[in-house]
C-alpha cells in the first residue's frame, strides 16, 4: 500500500469534511424548509376551510415524503449513488413491510378513514370499545379525548375493522329516558305531566314527535318511555335537566317514584 503524505491526508480530510458539512447542511436546512412548507400548506388548507382531519393527514404524508427526498439529496452529496440507495431502500422497505404488517395495516386503515371520513376531528364517537371526541386522525393511530379528559390512542386498523358509532353526524338526537312511577299512580296524569315538561323546555324540538307511553310493567313500578328530540349539541344538558324537572314536578304532585322493594308475608301454623 503506497504511503500517503500529510498533505494528501489534509486534502482528503478537507474534501470529505466539506462533503459531510454540505450533507449536514442540506439535511438541516432541508428539514426546516420541509417543516415550513408543510405548515404553510396546512395553514392554507385551514384558511380554505378544508376539513382539519384531511388537512392534518395530508400535512403528515407530505412532510415525510419531502423529508425522504431531503435525505436522498444529503446522501447524494456524500457521493452515495442515489439510484443504488433507492434500490436498497426499496428492498429493505419490502423486508420491513413483511415484518411490520400491522403497522402497514394501520397506515392503510388511516388512508381509508381519511377517504371515507366516517369520523372527523371534533366528532364524539364510540370505536373499538372506547368513547370520546376525536382529537386527531394521524397516519397510524387516532387520538380521542374522553369526557373526563383522558387521552386514548387507538390504532387505525382497530377502528376501521370495528363498528363506528358517530354521535355528531346528525343534527338532532332523541333523548331516551325511562321514568318509573308506582302502580297507584294515574297513568293519564303521568303522561300529561311528562308531555308538559317536554313542551316547557325550549330546547326540545316541537315539530318532531315526543314519545310518552308505558314501556314496561316492572316488579316495583310502571315504567314510561319518555323520548323528546333535541339538537345534538343540547343532548346532555337536556338529558340531565329533564330528569331533574321530572323529579321536582312529581314531588309537587305527590306522584311516587318507587324504589325496588319486596313485601314479605309471614304465616303462622
Domain extents for the chain?
Answer: 7-99, 118-166, 172-252
pTM: 0.61
C-alpha of 131 from chain center: 8
Do the first three CATH levels of 7-99 and 172-252 match, i.e. the same topology?
A: no
For the domain made up of 7-99, the CATH class stated in words is mainly alpha
Answer for the pair 138, 57: CB distance below 8 angstroms, yes or no.
Answer: yes
Architecture of domain 172-252: 2-Layer Sandwich (3.30)
How high is the pLDDT of residue 98?
47
Report the SS3 class of residue 54. Answer: helix
How high is the pLDDT of residue 18?
77
Report the SS3 class of residue 84. Answer: helix
Architecture of domain 118-166: Roll (2.30)
How high is the pLDDT of residue 100?
46
How high is the pLDDT of residue 140?
84
How high is the pLDDT of residue 174?
96
Mean pLDDT by 10 residues, the chain (269 residues): 60 72 84 87 78 74 81 76 61 52 74 86 93 90 94 93 92 96 95 96 95 93 96 95 96 88 66
Instruction: List the end-to-end C-alpha distance of the chain, in Å, as a whole number.
Output: 119
Helices (H), 161-234: 187-200
Of 194, 242, 263, 198, the residue nearest 222 (C-alpha): 194
Which residues face 223 on adjacent strands? 180, 216
The answer to whether the Cα torsion of 197, 199, 205, 208 is positive or negative is: positive
HSE of 167, CA atoms in CB hemisphere, 13 A: 18
233 grid coordinates: 349539541
Amino acid at each position: 500500500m503506497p504511503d500517503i503524505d500529510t498533505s494528501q491526508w489534509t486534502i482528503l480530510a478537507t474534501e470529505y469534511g466539506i462533503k459531510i458539512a454540505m450533507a449536514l447542511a442540506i439535511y438541516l436546512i432541508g428539514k426546516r424548509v420541509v417543516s415550513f412548507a408543510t405548515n404553510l400548506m396546512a395553514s392554507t388548507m385551514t384558511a380554505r376551510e378544508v376539513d382539519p382531519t384531511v388537512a392534518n393527514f395530508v400535512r403528515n404524508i407530505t412532510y415525510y415524503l419531502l423529508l425522504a427526498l431531503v435525505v436522498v439529496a444529503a446522501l447524494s452529496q456524500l457521493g452515495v449513488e442515489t439510484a443504488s440507495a433507492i434500490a436498497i431502500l426499496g428492498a429493505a422497505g419490502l423486508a420491513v413491510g413483511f415484518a411490520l404488517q400491522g403497522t402497514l395495516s394501520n397506515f392503510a386503515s388511516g388512508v381509508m378513514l381519511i377517504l371515507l371520513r366516517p369520523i372527523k376531528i371534533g366528532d364524539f364517537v364510540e370505536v373499538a370499545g372506547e368513547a370520546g371526541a376525536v382529537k386527531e386522525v394521524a397516519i397510524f393511530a387516532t387520538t380521542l379525548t374522553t369526557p373526563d379528559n383522558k387521552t386514548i390512542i387507538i390504532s387505525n386498523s382497530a377502528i376501521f375493522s370495528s363498528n363506528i358509532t358517530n354521535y355528531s353526524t346528525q343534527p338532532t338526537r332523541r333523548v331516551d329516558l325511562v321514568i318509573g312511577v308506582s302502580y297507584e299512580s294515574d297513568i293519564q296524569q303521568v303522561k300529561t305531566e311528562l308531555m308538559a315538561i317536554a313542551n316547557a323546555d325550549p330546547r326540545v324540538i316541537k315539530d318532531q314527535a315526543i314519545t310518552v307511553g308505558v314501556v314496561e310493567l316492572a316488579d316495583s313500578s310502571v315504567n314510561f318511555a319518555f323520548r323528546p328530540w333535541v339538537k345534538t349539541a343540547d343532548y346532555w344538558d337536556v338529558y340531565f335537566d329533564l330528569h331533574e324537572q321530572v323529579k321536582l314536578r312529581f314531588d309537587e304532585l305527590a306522584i311516587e317514584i318507587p324504589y325496588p322493594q319486596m313485601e314479605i308475608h309471614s304465616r303462622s301454623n
